[in-house]
Amino acid sequence: MTANGEGGVNAVYMMASRKHGTLYIGVTSALLTRVSQHREGVFEGFTKRYGVKRLVWVEWHDGIEAAIHREKRLKEYPRQWKINLIERENPDWLDLFPGFFRADGPLAHLQEPVPSM
């Protein structure tokens, strides 16, 4: 995956307006780009209308078909099941998006090494 979330790794993700707030489930092959679009309100729609800007859960898939299937299944589940899924990995509903840009985040292996002095 490249630094903008593209490169053949597909993600199913959940975003929230706040802890236990409005939930949005999506699928993309460019997670960072897509989440940025949600956060900035680039497109009219559900996430902009309801202020859904916090990335709270991500699941990675090798194939887009599997990711789309998982997204559709998640949308069918009761709300409490989705909340349980989020809280199992992110009990405080922290925004995961900034973590992608930390030196020890999930994309750390793509960052240029810092030369030692």
Q: What is the pLDDT of residues 84-115, one digit of tens each?
A: 999 999 999 999 998 877 666 555 555 555 55
Q: Give residue 92's domain range.
A: 10-110
* Tally of CB atoms within 10 A around 27: 21
The CATH number of whichever domain residue 41 belongs to comes to 3.40.1440
- Name the band, by pLDDT with cuts 50, 70 and 90, for residue 4: very low
Q: Count of domains in the chain?
A: 1
Can you give the pTM of this predicted structure? Answer: 0.81
3-state class (DSSP) for residue 30: coil
Residue 115 lies in a domain: no
Residue 71 lies in a domain: yes
Residue 3 lies in a domain: no
- What percentage of the chain has pLDDT greater than the value 70? 79
Question: Is there a contact between 11 and 31 (Cβ–Cβ < 8 Å)?
Answer: yes
Average pLDDT of the residues in 11-28:
97
Residue 1 lies in a domain: no
Residue 117 lies in a domain: no
- With 0-12 / 13-18 / 19 or more C-beta atoms within 10 angstroms meaning exposed / middle / buried, residue 116 is exposed
